[in-house]
Structure 1
Amino acid sequence: MLWLTPLWAQAAAVVAQLDRNPVALGDPVVLTFTADGIVSGDPDFTPLHQDFELRGQSQSNSFNMVNGVSRVHTEWELHLYPLKTGTVHIPSIQFGSDKSQALDLQVADQPAPAAGNAPDIFIELAAEPKQPYVQQETIITQRMYHIVQLQPQASLTHPSVESGKGDIQQIGNTVNTTAMRNGRNYQVIERRYALIPQQSGSLTLGRTTFEGILAEPGGRFDPFGLSGKPIRRFSQPLALQVREQPASYTGKQWLPARSVTLNAHWQTPPDKLKAGEPVTLTLAIVADGLAAEQLPKLEVQVPAGVKAYTDQPELRNEAGSSGVVGVRQEKWVVVAPYNGTYALPGLAVTWWNTTTGKQETAKVDAVKMVVTGGQAAPAGVATPPPVAQPQTPAQTNPQAAAAVAVSSGFSWAWYAAALLLMGALLSIGWLAWRWWRKPGGVLKEKAQAAALLSTTRKPDAKAVWRSLEQACRQNQPQAAQDALVQWVGVGLNIQPALIASLRARAEPALQTEIDALNAALYGRGGAGWKGAGLWTAIQHFKPAGQVQRKDAGRADLYPD
């Protein structure tokens, strides 16, 4: 073991060296540490993380003996990507009690194109609008332009909020197209995102990063797409100024959107209802530019004498041509036990039109419910008030009013008490008779409503298919949409059960029909909608395998 003594006695000298200097932002640089001798400890590369991204690290050792003297040579090789431009300081790195010297690296901006030419690869971020209101949907478009051939193993990060507060998610799929810039024909990879600012003030999206390998002309075939020149390119950060809610807005809930509509659909026409029979009323808010989760609960004022039950709302987000279209749908089961005419008040939702910059109101008109086929309400049971009649001069004559109030010595208090007692006895007797004749009473009505809602939640596939066919043949867009959503879940087993999920898997013909259905429901020509095309297209649809979501942070440019 004596021959090892010179080895441990050697003093280690650690030298740092860069493979190139200067370097362009986005291009890698190799930092090598060389030690002749045994260092007194493991290296600590933590100080490098402040200004560099470490993407690879290796260590090699060699041992030799010359003229009886043992020598150890160790190299540490680090692959670094600078995170900023300018003069980047590489600090001294500790190897136990040994250390390397410090270096300075000059980092230029992304490589400048040749004189008179545009760059071969560049990324842009754009926002519309650039000064949104708080909670207003802002469309972020990410485009990567390239004119050089890329290997399949490439990725482009999604935009993310760097400062400020907001939520962002991709809408639709990645689109590949072409565009002319500065006389050059570029291949363009485009993605669209919906950004919802959550507070006013400044909001900044950080730069997005492309990372790939340039195919080398004349290079040998590489089935794995790993040969070539590694390359990185960045977009510029995107800054937005988010405006506050206007002081002139008077709505209960802040709803900035491009359009908002209210729809009501009765299973049975409201003027042809039957006493004691439950009927489904479907209410929907459709907002172009708002997510379904932002839409308010509808406050339905049920008239006296009518019972109504509702289930959890159905929330859907569809990818429209201008962004996200949110739909909140509520199904109400309405039961009127007795004959009569009932007034169901209208609904109103106040919202802010981001296109015109004005407050508007979406409305559903009041409805007169006419109920027949049953019995009149017994005494003591709330019934709809009689229709108010305009007063005549004789009704408002002060002398006639005074004459009514004249007492003739008869006790009105005792008379009224006797009438109330008789009415109570009659009501109790009638209710007992009704309970004996129809066991279950109110519990039966609630059971009927619960059964109807349960049927809505768990529909039969064959029944849904027949409902879809009927709605299409009768040109009923709302009923067709309801049936289509159910068919996506129970018939096609697509999850989540959204029309957007079906559209993403559909052929162009079915996509066109789905867009036409959405256009009709969003108030752009619903009266002229024809369901024959949708019915034909859905019959020819063949479901494919499920598509799994990619990593939210980094997405492949060429997914499988």
Structure 2
Amino acid sequence: MSDIARNQSNPNQITAAKPGSDQGENDLPPEALASKGPSKGLRQTTLLSRRFGLQAALLAAALYILTCGSANAELTATLSASTLLPGQPVVLTLTQTGAAGAAINLEPLQLDFQITNRGSRSEIRVINGQRQNRQELRLTLLPRRTGTLTVPALRAGNDVTRPLTLVVAPTKTLDATLLSVPNGIAQEQPVASPPLAIEIEARVEPAQVRVQQQVVLTVRVSSPKMPPSGHLHEPHIAAARVLPLGEERRIENTNEGNLQVYERRFAVFPAKPGKLDIPAQRFDAWRTAGGAPVPFESDALSVDVQPAVAAPATSKDNIAWLPARALTLVEAGPTAVRLAPGQTLTRMITLRGDGVMAEDLPAIPLQIPFLLRMRNDPPRLWNEHTPNGVIGYRSERVLIGTSEEGVYQLPGAGIDWWNTETERWEQATLPAWTVTVAAFISENRRPAATWNEWPPAVEDSSKGSIAADTNSDSDVPTSPWWTAFWPWFWGFIAIIVITLLVIILVRRREQRPAPEIGMVAPDEFPVTEQTSEEPFDATISKLQQAYDRGDANAAREALLDWGKQVWPESVPANLSQLALRVEPPLRDEIRLLDKAFFSPTPIDWTGSPVWERLASAVTKSANEQKSSGLTQ
């Protein structure tokens, strides 16, 4: 009784004890152990019942949560609008609540809609100890056709959405009923916009080719009002290689007005014979007001691809199939080359293929002897993109040279190819080479210097010995070595003397004082002893007649003649120079005459008595000269 009461009053002590443990029992007396037997079984039974009860409660709670989560799992679908115009997108929101389920199958949407964008969001909430999952998938759909469309039921595991109806109206008016989006944000009513006047056209040239022959695909997008703005998808053609050639924008004049054109070209190389299907080319046009792009597609095309033509019987067995519009081998330099032993030469050959990619050009067959070939550089490949197609280049460099003298023949290279313009086999060739390896010998080369004893040794008869006479061959020079040096020495001295003379003459001329040209007053000018008044009278008479007639050219000639008589050593070249040598007012009158030649409006230059001033000056100068002579 006391033990049971003690155990009940202190349950923590009983719970802490491990089942089946006899801890502390060895310390009790035998009487106590005998009296404790019934209470030990009761304590173990109580402990086991409590453990099993706790585990059962946890299991029941987990089953309840899973059952509630699976029971509350739900998949719903909503649309942002129920009515659209062609080219307008719609947002489909898929909401999945409850436990995380399987992925949503979106394949049924591909029939009538194109998925242009997608986004996802997930939330986890714990309310009153219960966990709630919410996953949201937003899809931007672009209808593929007009009319009444149905968003099919979408499945995610065992959950299925309900079908939704969407009307794509072909008219320009719009009466749409917007549905509330899950996040509670109200959307704006879409505004109708006029349709885009865009046309897309695709064509191929030629329509029938051989295998690996180039086909030029041209995609043309045109708009009458403004340049087409959008994205043109690159073509994806099965069993063919596609290489972009470039784009072009231009304006074309038509009967209906200017047409804005955007054009792109592609080079297509079929890989196998048969019918080559080229799918419709797509252009996504952008609206100026924004929104989703509007797709435009061209018609699908096809090309008839014929098999390769067998090589001619005269060609080699391992000839490669190489169709091209043109194929040329180019090498710069002469075909006959001479090298010295040990000298090297770089041989560069370029293969150019019109309508062939550089990766398809074969290696250039250079038949160079083993003794001449020293190093081969890796080939250089590049493509040139033109509006008419691709042009491939392959350039190879070979370093040749040898130390063995001789004449080496290098056969010309040749490549067989199929001409797509003439539909026949042709061969691109290079001429043969001749390489001569020999030492260079110059007839004018001076012989090597030979050193001899000078003066030559003579016999010493007294000693009975003969001095050694070295280098008695025919190539011993007959004159001392310095005889060849004197011409160069005297030539150098002559150059120095001539240079010094030129420098002295130039400096003397620079230091010579220039003749002083004084300024002459209008009533005086220099008259030499040999000069009288008669030559000036004739010039002044011409000047007076020119002023009377108003002849500016004659007046200018008369004034220049007068200046020539006054300054014979430094003749003025024009009226401007003459005016600088006289004093006013004569200077102003001469400048007025000079200005009359270049003025856009007529100028009265005949009012000044220039000849009278010159005549009085001549008389005065002559009288002064006579009086000075009498005084002396």
Q: Does 1:80 align with 2:141?
A: yes
Does the CA-based 8 Å contact 2:205-2:217 persist in structure 1?
A: yes
Match of 1:121 in 2: 198
Match of 2:331 in 1: 264
Greater strand share, structure number: 1
Match of 1:50 in 2: 110
Residues 229 and 83 of structure 1: CA distance in aligned 2, closer, same or farther (over 3 Å) = closer
Aligned to 1:203, the other structure's residue is in SS state: strand
Aligned to 1:298, the other structure's residue is in SS state: coil
Does the CA-based 8 Å contact 2:335-2:433 persist in structure 1?
A: no
Residues 335 and 256 of structure 1: CA distance in aligned 2, closer, same or farther (over 3 Å) = same
Max radius of gyration: which structure?
2
Aligned to 1:160, the other structure's residue is in SS state: coil
Spell out the pairing of 1:331-370 with structure 2 (5 A cutoff): 331-370=397-436
Letter in 2 for 1:294: D
Match of 1:197 among 270, 281, 284: 270
Tell which has more relative contact order, 1 or 2 (C-alpha 8 A, sep 6+): 1
Letter in 1 for 2:305: V
Match of 1:176 among 249, 268, 271: 249
Spell out the pairing of 1:537-556 with structure 2 (5 A cutoff): none
- The C-alpha deviation readout for 1:470-498, integer Å capped at 9, x for no partner, is xxxxxxxxxxxxxxxxxxxxxxxxxxxxx
How much does 1:239 deviate? 2.2
- The C-alpha deviation readout for 1:211-263, integer Å capped at 9, x for no partner, is 243225xxxxxxxxxx3674222233332222210235566011100100111
State how far apart, in whole Å, the 1-side matches of 2:394 and 2:135 are. Answer: 66
Letter in 2 for 1:247: A
Letter in 2 for 1:94: R
Q: Does 1:101 align with 2:162?
A: yes
How much does 1:312 deviate? 1.0
How much does 1:361 deviate? 0.8
State how far apart, in whole Å, the 1-side matches of 2:74 and 2:369 are. Answer: 91
Does the CA-based 8 Å contact 1:47-1:91 persist in structure 2?
A: no
Aligned to 1:186, the other structure's residue is in SS state: strand
Q: Does 1:166 align with 2:243?
A: no
State how far apart, in whole Å, the 2-side matches of 1:230 and 1:95 are. Answer: 30
State how far apart, in whole Å, the 2-side matches of 1:322 and 1:179 are. Answer: 20
How much does 1:358 deviate? 1.1
State how far apart, in whole Å, the 1-side matches of 2:143 and 2:198 are. Answer: 19
How much does 1:203 deviate? 2.2
Does the CA-based 8 Å contact 1:290-1:326 persist in structure 2?
A: yes
Q: Does 1:147 align with 2:218?
A: no
Does the CA-based 8 Å contact 2:335-2:432 persist in structure 1?
A: no
Residues 278 and 58 of structure 1: CA distance in aligned 2, closer, same or farther (over 3 Å) = closer
Higher deviation after alignment, 239-248 or 345-354: 239-248
Letter in 2 for 1:283: I
Residues 261 and 87 of structure 1: CA distance in aligned 2, closer, same or farther (over 3 Å) = farther
Match of 1:284 in 2: 350
State how far apart, in whole Å, the 2-side matches of 1:60 and 1:343 are. Answer: 78
Q: Give the RMSD, CA atoms, in angstroms.
A: 4.4
Does the CA-based 8 Å contact 1:150-1:213 persist in structure 2?
A: no
Does the CA-based 8 Å contact 2:367-2:410 persist in structure 1?
A: yes
State how far apart, in whole Å, the 2-side matches of 1:311 and 1:11 are. Answer: 70
Q: Give aligned pairs, total.
A: 338
- The C-alpha deviation readout for 1:506-531, integer Å capped at 9, x for no partner, is xxxxxxxxxxxxxxxxxxxxxxxxxx
Residues 176 and 260 of structure 1: CA distance in aligned 2, closer, same or farther (over 3 Å) = same
Aligned to 1:368, the other structure's residue is in SS state: strand
Does the CA-based 8 Å contact 1:150-1:215 persist in structure 2?
A: no
Match of 1:382 in 2: none
Residues 310 and 140 of structure 1: CA distance in aligned 2, closer, same or farther (over 3 Å) = same
Q: Does 1:239 align with 2:292?
A: no
State how far apart, in whole Å, the 2-side matches of 1:254 and 1:127 are. Answer: 23
Does the CA-based 8 Å contact 2:77-2:92 persist in structure 1?
A: no
Identity of aligned residues (%): 30
Aligned to 1:132, the other structure's residue is in SS state: strand
TM-score by length of 2: 0.45
- The C-alpha deviation readout for 1:58-86, integer Å capped at 9, x for no partner, is 7999xxxxxxxxxxx99976421245799
Match of 1:479 in 2: none
Aligned to 1:55, the other structure's residue is in SS state: strand
Does the CA-based 8 Å contact 2:222-2:228 persist in structure 1?
A: no
- The C-alpha deviation readout for 1:348-370, integer Å capped at 9, x for no partner, is 11101111111111111222223
List gaps (5 residues or longer) in structure 1: 1-7, 62-72, 112-117, 217-226, 376-560
TM-score by length of 1: 0.51
